[in-house]
Amino acid sequence: MRLQNKVALITGAGSGIGRESALLFSAEGAQIVVVDVVDAAGNETVAMIKANGGEACYVHADVSKSAECENMVRVAEQTFGKLNVLFNNAGIMHGDDDNAMTTEEHVWDLTMNINLKGVFLGCKFGIPALKRAGGGSIINTASFVAILGAATPQIAYTASKGGVLAMTRELAIIHARQNIRVNSLCPGPLHTKLLMDFLNTDAKKQRRLVHIPMGRFGEAKEMAQAALFLASDESSYMTGASFVVDGGITAAYVTPE
C-alpha cells in the first residue's frame, strides 16, 4: 500500500484525472478528500471509493475562491486529522479560448482564476497543513502545452499552465528544507471529456493526434498512475520537476538545450 496512513486532498475529483486518482490513491491506502464544484459528480466519486472499502469525504469548493480553498483544507484536517498529499488538479479548458486576437477577456480571466489562481490558493492554505503533518507532497496539474504550445489555439489555457510550471518550481525551492515536495504533472492530450469537448470536430482531433508519436490519446488512468508516484515516498528525491507523461510529444518536438 503505497499511500498507507496518508490523507490526500484532490481538487477536480469528480471526473477525469481527479476521479481516477482518487480511486487509485484510495486503493493504495489513502483517505481521500474529494473536492469539486459539481456536487453530484464529487459525491459519486466518494460513493465509488466507499463501495471499494475506502474512506472519503466530499467538499464543495470553487478553487478560485479563497474562503472555499481554506475550508477544503480545514475539512481535511477536521475529518482525517492531517493532510499529507495535496493534488491541485482542478482546471478548465474554455470552448471560446482561442488566439490572442479572438479570445475574450472574460475567458482569459476565468481560465486564470481557476487554472492558476486555484493552484496558488490550494498551496496558500494547503502548505501550512502539510507543515503541521511534518511534510508531504504537492502535485500541480500543468500540461504539455506549457512546454510546447498548442497546435490548436488556446492562449489562456496555455499561459495558465505555463504559470503553474513556474510557480511549482519556486514553491519547490522555498519549501525543499521543510520536507515538502512540489512537482508538476504535465499530461499530453487525453481522451477525457474536457479535451474531447474542446476538440469538438474530427479535424481538430486529428490535428492533435498527428503530433503524438504513440498515435493515440492518453487515458486519465495513466495520469493517475503518474500522480501516484509523485504522491508516494517513491519520489522522495524529486521536487520542482515537470513530470511529462505525453505519449512522446515533447521528445519529438522539444530540442534539448
Residue 115 domain flag: yes
Domain that holds residue 30: 7-245
Three-class DSSP category at 177: helix
From the list 58, 157, 237, 253, the catalytic residue is: 157
Whole-model pTM over 0.85: yes
Residue 14's pLDDT is what?
A: 98
CATH number at residue 13: 3.40.50.720
Number of independent structural domains in the chain: 1
Sequence letter at residue 59 = V
CA distance 34 to 158: 26
CA distance 112 to 119: 10
Residue 39 domain flag: yes
Buried-exposed string 86-122: b where 16+ CB fall within 10 A, e elsewhere = bbbbbbbbbeebbeeeebeeebbebbbbbbbbbbbbb
Beta strand spans in 18-135 (E): 31-36, 56-60, 85-88
Residue 251 domain flag: no
**Does residue 128 carry a pLDDT above 90?**
yes
Residue 14 domain flag: yes
Check if the beta carbon of residue 49 is closer than 8 Å to that of residue 251: no
Residue 116's pLDDT is what?
A: 98
- State pLDDT tens for residues 139-167: 999 999 999 988 789 999 999 999 999 99
By DSSP bridging, strand 180-187 and strand 242-245 are: parallel
Residue 253 domain flag: no
**Does residue 25 carry a pLDDT above 90?**
yes
Residue 166 domain flag: yes
13: which 3 cell numbers? 475529483
Q: Is 58 a catalytic residue?
A: no
